Amino acid sequence: AKCQCKVVPRERTNCGYPGISAAECKKIGCCFNASVPSVPWCYNPKPKKVKKVCPNDPYTRINCGYPGIKAKDCTRKGCCFRAHPAGVPWCFYRRTVEE
């Protein structure tokens, strides 16, 4: 993603070898920008920003509890609790999404 390559030149960490081409750099999953002298041109992208959310679709829930688990016991485990609909886990894992 382009936004992951917006790294201030002085904060770039080298991700290649001297004289690496732009194509080779991108092929190994790195960013390439040769506009600033004396800093790495092939550098590591910023880590993706992720957050954990409770999935909206009840049919994609992955069970995190046991039958009859109480809401507070479920949330204490770091999971989501929604006592509806019937036939799906009410205590379920959060899902990691990219921001």
* Residue 32 and residue 54 in one domain: no
Task: Note down the domain range covering 66.
Answer: 50-98
What's the CA gap between 86 and 18, in Å, rounded?
60
Q: Is the pTM value of this prediction over 0.75?
A: no
pLDDT tens digits, 48-81: 888 899 999 999 999 999 999 999 999 999 999 9
The CATH number of the domain holding residue 61 is 4.10.110.10
Asked whether the beta carbons of 98 and 48 are under 8 A apart, the reply is yes
How many domains are there within the chain? 2
For 24-48, give the DSSP string: HHHHTT-EE--SSTTS-SEEPPPPP
pLDDT tens digits, 10-31: 999 999 998 999 999 999 999 9
* Residue 92 and residue 55 in one domain: yes
* Residue 60 and residue 35 in one domain: no
* Residue 21 and residue 56 in one domain: no
> What confidence category does residue 1 fall into, taking pLDDT thresholds of 50, 70 and 90?
low
CB neighbours of 42 closer than 8 A, spacing ≥ 6? 14, 15, 16, 20, 22, 25, 30, 31, 32
* Residue 37 and residue 75 in one domain: no
